[in-house]
Amino acid sequence: MSQQILAEPDVATAPRGLWAGLQDYVGHVRSINRNARCYLLGSFLMGVNFEIFQLLLNLYLKELKFGEGDIGLVNAGRAMGMSIMAIPASILFSRFHLRPLLILGVIGFGLFSVLLITTQELWLLMGLSLLAGVSWSLFRVFSGPFYMRNSTPDERTHLFSISFAVLLLAGMAGSAGAGKLVTVLGHLTGDIILGYKYTLVVGVLIGLLAMIPFSLVGAQAPGGRESRVSLTLEQLRNRGGFYFRLTFVNFVIGMGAGLIIPFLNLYFKERFHLAPDVIGLFYLCVSGAMFVGTLAGPLLARRFGLVRTVVFTQLASIPFMLTLSFTYILPVAFVAFVIRGGLMNLNGPISSHLAMELSEEKERTLVNALLLISWTASWMIAVAIGGQLVERYGFTLVLNIASGLYVCASIMYFRFFRHIERRKDGGAGWYISEGDA
């Protein structure tokens, strides 16, 4: 792996101040090629659909008198589907043109999402959630390698951050309207459950529009070095340690997230008795904080390095997680919810970018799939456990356990990767040296 420069080439030419930073972002956005722009637009539309379901499905199931344990099993089904499909999706990416695969994923996710609201049988809900996860994984596995294929080294930190920011904007759009629409439609129909169903269908229709930009993605053939995804014994001997470090830390973080993140909408509903439109407003605010944090990510990474930015922001989120755990004061919980979300999710695109930079070209799709498997497998376990724990013991215990897992993951991440990045002479930035991974 060749040396990768991760920071500005010269202190004198580095962006100064907020305005200069915004100009820097605008310049990088303009440099994004047509394929990446189409993918970003499709991601936005899919993200709106995903966010509406993320926000409302648990609340909808709660209205149907499902307990947190059963709701956790439904969420675990989606994570299981993503885990099952991760490696097959990476093989598809490496051997076939991307456009029809993306369109297939859009149609599948929309179809199974609609079917989810047509049944109240738990086993059917779990099965349909699993199939929706299978469809969603096509889009998620492809994104990292696709952005690497369609960008230059100078653009990548910004492109990964912009891609994450696009999903956050989608979250803001979905959160802004979904909760209010449920309330309005519930009043119009006289049935809050119909309000949930019709709003979820609106989300699906928005998601299906992603077929338009995805159909405009250039029909690139897989790159020569990406033509096969494999995991041989020799590869395991040479790169197994690297794969383990990446996936194990990701698994631990995913366990912490899976225990509580899917239930935070229920946290506000149960602890503070909030209506769907107010919860939607809260999620809009946290998406806004995450969006600002994502834009700040590359600036922090240039100054402190990728690894340290990930670790510091994760640790900084812990006090706010503990505040959520113990407070029963709504304004305090709201502030902690927003700040925690902004800090914890700031590092998502940075850690994804670092994983891609540390990977050889021929293994990037495999690494992306392994990361997805470790994340979704941890969610599959943690969501099921978290639902049972919330139902039996409430939210405080689960939030405390999740905080402990975040601390452990942060320490491991720093120990595993702190030597990978090195300062350039004169402290003008950071680089990854050959062989450090």
Tokens describing residue 160: 């990964």
Half-sphere exposure of 308 (CA within 13 A, CB side): 14
* Phi and psi torsions of 398, nearest 5°: -65, -40
* Phi and psi torsions of 294, nearest 5°: -65, -40
Q: What is the reported pLDDT for 406?
A: 94
Tell me the per-residue pLDDT of 201-225, one tens digit each, with 9 for 90 and over. Answer: 999 999 999 999 999 887 655 554 4
Cα–chain-centroid distance for residue 94?
Answer: 22
Q: What is the reported pLDDT for 268?
A: 95
Comparing CA positions, the residue from 282, 336, 265, 341 lying closest to residue 54 is 265
Q: Looking at the DSSP assignment, which residues form a beta bridge with residue 204?
A: none
**Distance of alpha carbon 364 from alpha carbon 29, whole angstroms:** 23
**Distance of alpha carbon 229 from alpha carbon 361, whole angstroms:** 11
**Distance of alpha carbon 317 from alpha carbon 406, whole angstroms:** 9
Q: What is the reported pLDDT for 430?
A: 59
Under-70 pLDDT residues of the chain: 1-29, 153-154, 156-157, 219-232, 422-437
Q: What is the reported pLDDT for 201?
A: 94
pTM of the full structure? 0.75
